[in-house]
């Protein structure tokens, strides 16, 4: 079923929307959730995501249902992971969290960037990147893909992906410093 029709079902409050979403994007959403949570809490998170999507459309009318659903599941999974990490329920993080945060702030937290509106800054930063680097950056830090996975997906060598990520992180730091002035 086309996205437009599925969104139409949501807008009409037809529960077929959920099964259609599950059928079309269930595997994708599951894979995103697994990036963050492994096997732990995935099903629960997935159900929460469907509920959140059901509850948010309407009023939302996403242009890309896939991207919208990815956003929902990604953020729910991340919140769950953060919760697990905070309570030490998870022995280790499989995510590049430390990699990103540490490289941006030298290991400190982000207090020095307190005055930044991150929602604007992040979008601005992404907009400033070339498409390929933006996609690599997003795959790593939004979808939590591993370097080998990015390499395989985009047909780039692993070393090139690493190099691009390094450069992207440097740019990110530079961008944030510029924004914080």
Partner 1 sequence: MKNYRLYDEIGRVDTAFVEEVLEYTEKSKRRHIMSKTVILKAAAIAACAAVVIGAGAAALMRRELPVKKEDPVQTVEAETEDSTVVVERSYNERIADGEEVKIETHIGERIEHQGFAFTLKNITVSPTFPEGITKADISYTPTVAAYTDGGTDGMSYSEKFYSYREYAKEHGLPPIEEDEAYGDPEKGEGAYTERDLFVSDVIDDNGMYNGPMDVPDEAYKWVFLELEIENLTDEDKLEYFGDMQVCYGDYITEPAYELYDKDGNAIVNIPEYSQYSIYSLVCYMSEHTDEKITDDRTDTFLNVSFTPSEKKSIILGFCISDHFIYGDLVLQLHNSEPIFYQSDYVYLPLK
Q: By the criterion CB under 8 A, which residues form the site for partner 1?
A: 62-64, 66-68, 70-71, 74-75, 78, 82, 85-86, 95, 97-104, 106, 109-110, 118-119, 121-123, 126, 130-132, 134-135, 138-139, 141-143, 147, 153-157, 159-160, 162-164, 166-167, 170
**What are the DSSP calls for 30-95, one per residue?**
HHHHHHHHTTTTHHHHHHHHHHHHHHHTTT---S-HHHHHHHHHHHHHHHHHHHHHHTT-SSS--S
CB of 33 to partner 1, least distance (A): 13
- Indicate the residue among 54 and 143 with the shorter CB distance to partner 1: 143
- Indicate the residue among 15 and 174 with the shorter CB distance to partner 1: 174
- Indicate the residue among 47 and 159 with the shorter CB distance to partner 1: 159
- Indicate the residue among 91 and 109 with the shorter CB distance to partner 1: 109
CB of 129 to partner 1, least distance (A): 10
Residues, the chain, total? 181
Cis peptide before 86 (omega within 30 of 0): no
CB of 13 to partner 1, least distance (A): 22
The three-class DSSP label of residue 50 is: helix
Nearest to 48 by CA among 27, 69, 25: 69
CB of 180 to partner 1, least distance (A): 12
Nearest to 81 by CA among 52, 46, 38, 30: 38
- Indicate the residue among 1 and 126 with the shorter CB distance to partner 1: 126
Structure tokens belonging to residue 15: 């529960």
Structure tokens belonging to residue 96: 């590049």
């Amino acid at each position: 079923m086309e996205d437009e029709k599925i969104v139409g079902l949501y807008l009409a409050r037809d529960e077929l929307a959920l099964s259609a979403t599950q059928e079309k994007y269930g595997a994708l959403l599951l894979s995103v959730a697994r990036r963050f949570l492994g096997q732990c809490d995935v099903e629960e998170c997935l159900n929460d995501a469907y509920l959140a999507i059901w509850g948010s459309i309407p009023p939302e009318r996403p242009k890309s249902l896939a991207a919208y659903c990815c956003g929902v599941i990604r953020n729910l999974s991340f919140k769950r992971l953060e919760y697990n990490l905070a309570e030490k329920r998870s022995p280790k993080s499989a995510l590049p969290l430390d990699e990103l945060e540490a490289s941006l702030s030298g290991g400190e937290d982000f207090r020095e960037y307190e005055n930044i509106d991150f929602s604007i800054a992040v979008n601005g930063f992404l907009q400033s990147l070339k498409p390929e680097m933006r996609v690599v950056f997003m795959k790593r830090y939004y979808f939590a893909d591993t370097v080998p996975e990015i390499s395989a997906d985009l047909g780039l060598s692993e070393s090139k992906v690493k190099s691009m990520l390094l450069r992207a992180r440097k740019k990110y730091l530079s961008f944030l410093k510029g924004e914080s002035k």
